[in-house]
Amino acid sequence: MRILVTGGGGFIGSHAVDALIASGAGEVSVLDNFSTGKRDQVNPKATVHQTDLRDAAAVTSVVEKVRPEIIFHLAAQMDVRRSVADPAFDAQVNVVGFLNLIEAARKHGLKRVVFSSTGGAIYGEQDEFPCTEDHPKRPVSPYGVAKLATEAYLFFYKVEYGIDYLALRFGNVYGPRQDPHGEAGVISIFCGKLLDRQPVTIYGDGTQTRDYVYVGDVVRAVVAASKSSASGLAINIGTGIETNVNDLYSTLAGIADFPTKAEHAPPRGGEQKRSVISPARAEKELGWRPEKKLAEGLEETFKYFKQQRDHLS
């Protein structure tokens, strides 16, 4: 099978490429502009195309070469705060970039798309905890709006052109290779500060919650989605467990043996107060459930960043 992974040099994308190659899924190509992703994270067995999704002609050229049967669309402008500050840029990358990709690919044998949506920003302030995929969609950031719009476009392409898809609504993904951007980037930011033995700043009172899901678990869901016969669905990929930022910091500070309390600053715009998603549909449709406990995942993540720091010193 011919596979194209967008954002394959990024945090989740590079792990997904590794897993797809290890599973023998097919011939894997990567499309990434490396604005945030790192070329040295890309598995050497993958073919790399350095291309910006906003460049329709360049994207078409890559698609004509790869002729992907399945696309894992993981490339994104993933910073919620930047989307609030610059909604047009967010839409250019996350909406127009997607349309450039799928318009080219539908003409060259595309059969299926696995899309990395959001299980936090797409719902907005929740009415139920954890929420299912049927919860009202009330995104409070342009980032969430763009993800919701892409899901709607995927439905259109399924109806109009018969292209199967699954939209995986990720919780706050964390783990090795995490980039300190976007909402889940708080963990890598905390790790960096703790390794520098510097005070950590928490925006807001720290009682805001998120559903933190380990990247290894997420990648298992991505691979399962490529093999599943399910189509036309949104599927939450999370733990169903809320963790507030104060507790997150306390756990990491304990791992780092750093006794200093966090400092607090005013909250930032576009962020939800509480976010936690039910993984029940993922278990039913993909046979997937989260395995990594948060404390264990945080310890592995901190160890990774420490090893990276030690390697550079």
**pLDDT band of 269, cuts 50, 70, 90:** confident
How far is the C-alpha of 145 from the C-alpha of 81, rounded, in Å?
A: 13
Question: Residue 312: its pLDDT value, please?
Answer: 75
**pLDDT band of 271, cuts 50, 70, 90:** confident
- Specify the domain boundaries for CATH 3.90.25.10 within the chain: 175-210+241-275+293-312
* Nearest C-alpha neighbor of 214 from the set 148, 266, 283, 288: 288
Once rounded to an integer, what is the mean pLDDT over residues 7-36? 96
Is a pLDDT exceeding 60 seen at residue 182?
no
- Report the percent of the chain where pLDDT is more than 90: 92
User: Which residue numbers are catalytic?
Assistant: 143
Summarize pLDDT for 205-243 with one digit per residue, the tens. Answer: 999 999 999 999 999 999 999 999 999 999 999 999 999
- Cα Rg of the chain, angstroms: 19
Mean pLDDT, the chain, whole residue set: 95
Is a pLDDT exceeding 80 seen at residue 270?
no
- Specify the domain boundaries for CATH 3.40.50.720 within the chain: 2-173+213-237
**pLDDT band of 310, cuts 50, 70, 90:** confident
How crowded is residue 279: how many other Cβ atoms within 10 Å of its Cβ?
Answer: 26
- Report the percent of the chain where pLDDT is more than 70: 98
| Beta-strand relationship, 209-210 and 243-244 | antiparallel
Summarize pLDDT for 65-77 with one digit per residue, the tens. Answer: 999 999 999 999 9
**pLDDT band of 181, cuts 50, 70, 90:** low
Domain 2-173+213-237 is of which CATH architecture?
Answer: 3-Layer(aba) Sandwich (3.40)
* Nearest C-alpha neighbor of 116 from the set 284, 235, 1: 235
Q: How does 240-257 read in b/e, with b if 16+ C-beta sit within 10 Å? A: bbbbbbbebbebbbebbe
Q: Which fold has domain 175-210+241-275+293-312?
A: UDP-galactose 4-epimerase; domain 1 (3.90.25)
| pTM, entire model | 0.96
Query: Which residue type sits at 108?
Result: H
Once rounded to an integer, what is the mean pLDDT over residues 45-55? 98
Summarize pLDDT for 111-140 with one digit per residue, the tens. Answer: 999 999 999 899 999 999 999 999 999 999
How crowded is residue 64: how many other Cβ atoms within 10 Å of its Cβ?
Answer: 12
Is a pLDDT exceeding 80 seen at residue 143?
yes
* Nearest C-alpha neighbor of 50 from the set 88, 94, 8: 8
Question: Residue 184: its pLDDT value, please?
Answer: 53
